[in-house]
Structures are given as C-alpha cells and as structure tokens.
C-alpha cells in the first residue's frame, strides 16, 4: 500500500512500519492517574526496574495496560509535573494564569501531599505479560507524522500516530540500542523520581522546622506560665504562713478567753456560795430580831402590869 506524501515533503514511503500510538487520557483518567501515582509513591524506590513495575501496576489497575507503555506513563507524569512547576514558579517578570490549566489544582494537591491515601495501594510484580510491548524508534532515513485513518479506532479515544521509515542497521544492533535507550530512560526517570522525593523531603523538612518553631514558642509560653505559677505558689505560701500565724494568735486568744471564762465561773460559784451564806445569815438575823421583839414586848407588859399594881396599892393606901 502506498501513502501519499504531504504537500510540504518530497519523500514518499512505499511501506509504513512500525506504528507507535500515544494514548490521550480523559480528565477522569488523569485525575485517577495522579492519585494512584501519589498514593503509591513507595513503589518508586529508585532500585532497578522498580519504576517500570510500578507504572505497569498503575496502568493495569486503570485498565490501560494495552493502550500505554510504562515509559509513556512516566513521560506523562513528568510532563504534568513540568507544566505545574512552570505555572507555580514562573521566571521573574513572566505573568502566568494557572487557572487556565484544568489540572493545576489537582497537581498542587499532589505536590503538597494532600492526595496521599486518595487511591488504592497497589502491589507491583515483575512481569512482562499482558502489557503493551515497548517500542523504540529505530534509526531511520526520514520520518513524518500523519493522522492515521485506522477504522478500528473510530469513535474511540484520541490517538496520536507516529510513522517511521525503513531501517539501515541490523536488527540485533537495533535491539541493543533499544535496551540501552530503555535503560537510560529508566535512569532518567529514576533520577526525576529521586528529585521529586528530594523536593518532598525538603518540603517536609520545612514543615518540621515550622512545627519546631511553633513548639519552641509554645514551650516559651509554658515556661512563662510555669514561672507565673511559681510566683503564685510563693505568694500562696506566704499567705498560708500569715494565716498560720493568725491562727496561732487566735488559738492563744481562745485559750485566754477560756481561762477568763473559767475564772468568771469560779467567781460566780463563789458569789453563789456567798449569797447563800448571806441568805442564811439574814434568816437567822430575822429570827433573832423577832425573838428579841417578843421578849421586849413581854417585859414592857410586865412593867406596865407591875406599875398598875403599885399604882393601885398607892391609891388604896391613900
């Protein structure tokens, strides 16, 4: 089959082979893609082939293992991060509008760690089965990009198609080049992953430093409160000592009052006894006075009677 050249080229291809497809994710798929990458960051440990297995686990969970390779997924993630960083920290004098990019808030939440735990935790297994084969473009004389009218893709997701020309090198040499390119790509991806993790560690370190400063301020406040409590405690001790002294004085005064009360009681008893004695003396005095009055009255009567007798005798004598 012959494919007609574009008007701006003068090269013709009698045969187009092979074809690499770049799958275009939908908005929902990109959101799930980012959440899975953030929630499963532990899978990207930096060891050999771990990033490949991790991306394959994510693609398989999303059902995209037949539409994207792990290297395409990695490149998609790096492109999203680069676009976010360009909008987040633009060069001096450059004005940007982050709100024009629909995924800015999503990437901002991802970079700030707010999406951790927002997606299932996956398990990466070192397997090559049931995945889209890795394609590396071989050395070619010329290349062009066309919109492929493949019937089987009609009505499906948007697909970019790259068509490559014939090869000049042997297949064995090309496979070795593919392996080297793949290794370099993995190394680059691992380096980018380490840079991202280093940046995350720096952010965590800054957060910890801020928390440490907050704790220091809180400790200073607590120290001031402890000092105030110590001053209050000393003041309370002084007040307690004053109260104890006043209490001791009151106890002494109470003892004196008790002694005075006892003395008054004794004096009252003495007065009662003296009063009783005086009552008895008074009674005896009254009795004696009454008896004396009776005796005196009898003597007066006797004298009167004798006087009358004498007077009668005198009258008789005269």
- Residue by residue, pLDDT tens for the chain (318 residues) are 333 333 333 333 333 334 457 789 999 999 999 999 999 999 998 888 899 999 999 999 999 999 999 999 999 999 999 999 999 999 988 888 999 999 999 999 999 999 998 999 998 877 666 666 665 555 454 444 334 333 333 333 433 333 333 333 344 444 445 556 666 766 777 788 788 788 888 888 899 999 999 999 999 999 999 999 999 999 999 999 999 999 999 999 999 999 988 998 898 899 888 888 888 888 888 778 777 777 777 777 888 888 888 888 888 887
Instruction: Classify residue 28: in a domain, yes or no.
Output: yes
CA gap 122, 43 in Å, rounded: 8
CA gap 182, 130 in Å, rounded: 19
The tally of domains found in the chain comes to 2
- Phi and psi torsions of 91, nearest 5°: -60, 160
Query: What pLDDT does residue 197 have?
Result: 83
CB 32 within 8 A of CB 60: no
Query: What pLDDT does residue 294 have?
Result: 73
Which residues, listed in sequence order, are joined to residue 163 by a DSSP beta bridge? 19, 144
Instruction: Classify residue 144: in a domain, yes or no.
Output: no
Q: Which residues of 301-318 are buried (b: 16+ CB within 10 A; e: fewer)?
A: eeeeeeeeeeeeeeeeee
Total Cβ atoms within 10 A of residue 196: 17
Instruction: Classify residue 289: in a domain, yes or no.
Output: yes
In sequence order, the 6+-apart residues with CB closer than 8 A to the CB of 261 are none
In a shared domain, residues 99 and 196? no
Name the 3-class secondary structure at 67.
coil
Name the pairing type of β-strands 19-23 and 143-145: unpaired
Q: Tokens 């997924």: give the residue.
A: 73
Instruction: Classify residue 162: in a domain, yes or no.
Output: no
Query: What pLDDT does residue 195 have?
Result: 83
pTM value > 0.75: no
CB 142 within 8 A of CB 165: yes
Total Cβ atoms within 10 A of residue 13: 20
In a shared domain, residues 99 and 208? no
In a shared domain, residues 122 and 194? no
Among residues 79, 105, 128, which one ends one of the domains? 128
Which residues, listed in sequence order, are joined to residue 20 by a DSSP beta bridge? 162
Instruction: Classify residue 175: in a domain, yes or no.
Output: no
Instruction: Classify residue 161: in a domain, yes or no.
Output: no
Total Cβ atoms within 10 A of residue 193: 20
Report the Cα–Cα distance between both ends of the chain, in Å, rounded: 215
Tokens of 96: 């940007």
Among residues 113, 128, 143, which one ends one of the domains? 128
- Phi and psi torsions of 163, nearest 5°: -110, 130
Residue 18, preceding peptide bond in cis (omega within 30° of 0): yes
In a shared domain, residues 211 and 105? no
Among residues 128, 144, 170, which one ends one of the domains? 128
Tokens of 98: 């982050």
CA gap 155, 158 in Å, rounded: 9
Tokens of 301: 């009567």
Query: What pLDDT does residue 306 have?
Result: 84
Instruction: Classify residue 200: in a domain, yes or no.
Output: yes
- The residue range of the domain holding 92 is 22-128
CB 181 within 8 A of CB 136: yes
In a shared domain, residues 194 and 306? yes
In a shared domain, residues 86 and 197? no
Query: What pLDDT does residue 279 have?
Result: 86
Query: What pLDDT does residue 193 have?
Result: 76
Instruction: Classify residue 140: in a domain, yes or no.
Output: no
């Amino acid at each position: 089959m012959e494919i007609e050249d574009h008007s701006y080229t003068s090269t013709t291809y009698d045969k187009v082979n092979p074809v690499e497809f770049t799958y275009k994710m939908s908005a929902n798929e990109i959101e799930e893609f980012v959440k899975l990458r953030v929630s499963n960051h532990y899978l990207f440990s930096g060891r050999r082939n771990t990033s490949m297995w991790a991306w394959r686990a994510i693609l398989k969970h999303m059902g995209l293992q037949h539409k994207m390779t792990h290297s395409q997924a990695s490149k998609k993630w790096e492109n999203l991060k680069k676009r976010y960083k360009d909008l987040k920290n633009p060069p001096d004098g450059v004005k940007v509008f982050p709100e024009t990019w629909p995924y800015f808030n999503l990437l901002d939440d991802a970079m700030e760690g707010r999406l951790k735990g927002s997606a299932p935790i996956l398990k990466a297994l070192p397997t090559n089965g049931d995945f889209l084969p890795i394609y590396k473009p071989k050395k070619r004389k010329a290349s062009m990009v066309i919109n492929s009218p493949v019937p089987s893709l009609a009505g499906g997701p948007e697909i970019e198609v790259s068509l490559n020309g014939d090869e000049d090198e042997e297949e064995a040499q090309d496979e070795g080049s593919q392996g080297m390119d793949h290794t370099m790509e993995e190394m680059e991806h691992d380096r980018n992953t380490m840079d991202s993790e280093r940046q995350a560690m720096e952010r965590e370190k800054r957060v910890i430093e801020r928390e440490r400063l907050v704790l220091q301020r809180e400790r200073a406040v607590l120290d001031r409160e402890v000092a105030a409590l110590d001053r209050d405690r000393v003041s309370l001790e002084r007040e307690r000592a004053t109260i104890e002294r006043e209490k001791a004085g009151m106890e002494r005064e109470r003892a004196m009052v008790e002694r005075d009360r006892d003395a008054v009681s004794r004096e009252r008893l003495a007065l009662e006894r003296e009063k009783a004695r005086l009552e008895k003396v008074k009674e005896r005095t009254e009795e004696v006075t009454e008896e004396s009055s009776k005796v005196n009255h009898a003597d007066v009567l006797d004298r009167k009677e004798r006087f009358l007798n004498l007077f009668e005798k005198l009258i008789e004598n005269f």
